[in-house]
């Protein structure tokens, strides 16, 4: 009788785990005694292949750290192999496939000092050894910094926004059946991590953030140039191009973007919708720099993501949902977010907001200029170096607290340069 593949797979995982536990424990003990205090600790970012890991690692490598990505694989449809250092699928070919995650974890103990991970953990998130990771890392004197990205940490029942829950259910319905497992992962790493940075997601059940920062995302401003298009069109005769990336359609509210553009066309406005879907990052850069006049990032989730930063870096007015004060008021009050020139819109207000931006080219230029200045001040690789250098000091006990790192009155960083000036009031267009 032939056993089902799933049963064979999990049986092999458990067998490998039984071998892994004593070997990993012994290696952690060895590393604990042979490791020396590192003036410049060795950093690793992984193991989920989120492109932010590549940006963060690059920023810290440029600052003089030994910094590498080590991921399971990469998303070839949107990223390049050159974005990553080490990829599990290319390593340890001498070992059985089921054993490679365990080998990578043990190998990493000898290579790195600080692990920057998601709530998925480091390679062992889907194995029986997942809840041993923190203990093995701590025993080997490693430090752990957790940076969630979404599906690793969203427990649907803990999200404050019903709209966000519904958007997630539209895009990722099966994840709603994994709430217990995800909640355990969040609870586990929230307890054991040396630092946790949830950004906009902080109010949604984490109960902990060591740094109050709107977004821990950063962008290489040498790659992203401000648009020189300077379109003076007001949508009456000449065309205005609206860009939108419809990945995660339900979560982003893409159907409302398409509907708003159609409504404005019925009014007689000369506008075109450019959908950025399943294309490489360099093509996104080209379109935002050369073709687009406005970027609609998303309308459901409260906050912005990497695509919003890409639009700001390209000198475009960017639209995202910043409507829910439960999320936004605290980061305006205790961080630099009042300087952010992203235009807030919901599915219900998007037609109004787009009409204003399409018909007022001078407003588009003001917001585009402010947006580029904003990312230069807060979201370039130098800002990543500042944040993570402070985190490294914190996890090694050289700093007592990071809670006021970006405080608009008490923080040094927001006040090193003049405040970004823009025409919005609480991220809304006023007449």
Q: Model-level pTM greater than 0.75?
A: yes
**Rounded Cα gap, residues 345 and 264, in angstroms:** 16
**Rounded Cα gap, residues 427 and 335, in angstroms:** 15
pLDDT value at residue 318: 98
pLDDT per residue as tens digits for the range 144-179: 999 999 999 999 999 999 999 999 999 999 999 999
pLDDT value at residue 223: 92
Domain 240-380 carries which CATH code?
Answer: 3.40.50.2000
pLDDT value at residue 107: 97
Span 342-357, average pLDDT: 98
**Rounded Cα gap, residues 140 and 143, in angstroms:** 9
| DSSP H helix total and E strand total for the chain | 14, 11
pLDDT value at residue 277: 87
Span 207-235, average pLDDT: 92
**Rounded Cα gap, residues 9 and 366, in angstroms:** 57
Domain with CATH 3.40.50.2000 in the chain: 240-380
Instruction: Compute the mean pLDDT over every residue in the chain, rounded to the nearest whole number.
Output: 92
Which DSSP helix (H) or strand (E) runs through 368? helix 361-378
pLDDT value at residue 115: 98
CB atoms within 10 A of CB 111: 13
pLDDT value at residue 8: 56
E strand map for 147-265: 195-196, 240-244
Kindly state the percentage of the chain with pLDDT values over 90.
82
**Rounded Cα gap, residues 244 and 295, in angstroms:** 6
**Rounded Cα gap, residues 295 and 54, in angstroms:** 24
- Would you give the DSSP letter of residue 40? S
pLDDT per residue as tens digits for the range 88-136: 989 999 998 878 999 999 999 999 999 999 999 999 988 888 899 999 9
pLDDT per residue as tens digits for the range 409-430: 999 999 999 999 999 999 999 9
pLDDT reading at 15 higher than 80: no
pLDDT value at residue 400: 93
Beta carbons of 70 and 396 less than 8 angstroms apart: no
CB atoms within 10 A of CB 227: 19
pLDDT reading at 2 higher than 60: no
């Amino acid at each position: 009788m032939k056993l089902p593949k799933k049963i064979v797979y999990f049986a092999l995982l458990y067998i490998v785990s039984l071998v892994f536990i004593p070997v990993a424990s012994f290696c952690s003990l060895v590393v604990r005694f042979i490791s020396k205090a590192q003036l410049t600790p060795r950093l690793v970012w992984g193991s989920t292949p989120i492109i932010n890991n590549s940006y963060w690692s690059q920023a810290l490598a440029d600052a003089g750290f030994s910094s590498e990505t080590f991921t399971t694989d990469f998303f070839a449809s949107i990223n390049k192999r050159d974005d990553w250092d080490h990829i599990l699928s290319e390593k340890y070919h001498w070992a059985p496939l089921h054993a490679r995650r365990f080998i990578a974890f043990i190998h990493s103990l000898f290579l790195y000092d600080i692990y920057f991970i998601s709530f998925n953990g480091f390679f062992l998130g889907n194995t029986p050894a997942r809840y041993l990771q923190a203990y093995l890392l701590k025993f080997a004197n490693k430090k752990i910094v957790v940076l969630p990205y979404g599906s690793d940490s969203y427990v649907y029942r803990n999200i404050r926004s019903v709209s966000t829950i519904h958007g997630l259910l539209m895009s990722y319905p099966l994840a709603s059946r994994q709430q217990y497992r995800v909640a355990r992962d969040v609870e586990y790493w929230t307890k054991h991590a040396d630092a946790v940075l949830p950004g906009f997601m902080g109010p949604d059940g984490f109960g902990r953030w060591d740094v109050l920062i709107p977004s821990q995302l950063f962008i290489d401003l040498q790659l992203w140039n401000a648009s020189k298009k300077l379109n003076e069109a007001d949508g009456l005769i000449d065309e205005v191009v609206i860009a939108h990336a419809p990945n995660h359609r339900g979560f982003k509210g893409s159907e409302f973007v398409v509907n708003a553009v159609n409504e404005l066309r019925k009014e007689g406005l000369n506008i075109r919708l450019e959908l950025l879907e399943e294309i490489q990052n360099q093509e996104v850069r080209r379109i935002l720099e050369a073709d687009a006049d406005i970027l609609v990032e998303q309308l459901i989730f409260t906050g912005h993501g990497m695509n919003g930063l890409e639009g700001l870096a390209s000198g475009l007015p960017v639209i995202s949902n910043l409507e829910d004060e439960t999320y936004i008021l605290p980061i305006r009050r205790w961080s630099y977010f009042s300087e952010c020139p992203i235009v807030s819109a919901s599915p219900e207000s998007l037609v109004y907001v787009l009409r204003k931006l399409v018909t007022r080219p001078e407003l588009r230029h003001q917001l585009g200029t402010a947006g580029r200045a904003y990312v230069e001040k807060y979201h370039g690789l130098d800002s990543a170096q500042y944040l993570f250098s402070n985190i490294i000091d914190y996890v090694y006990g050289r700093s007592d607290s990071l809670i006021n790192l970006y405080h608009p009155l008490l923080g040094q960083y927001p006040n090193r340069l003049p405040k970004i000036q823009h025409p919005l009031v609480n991220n809304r267009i006023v007449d």
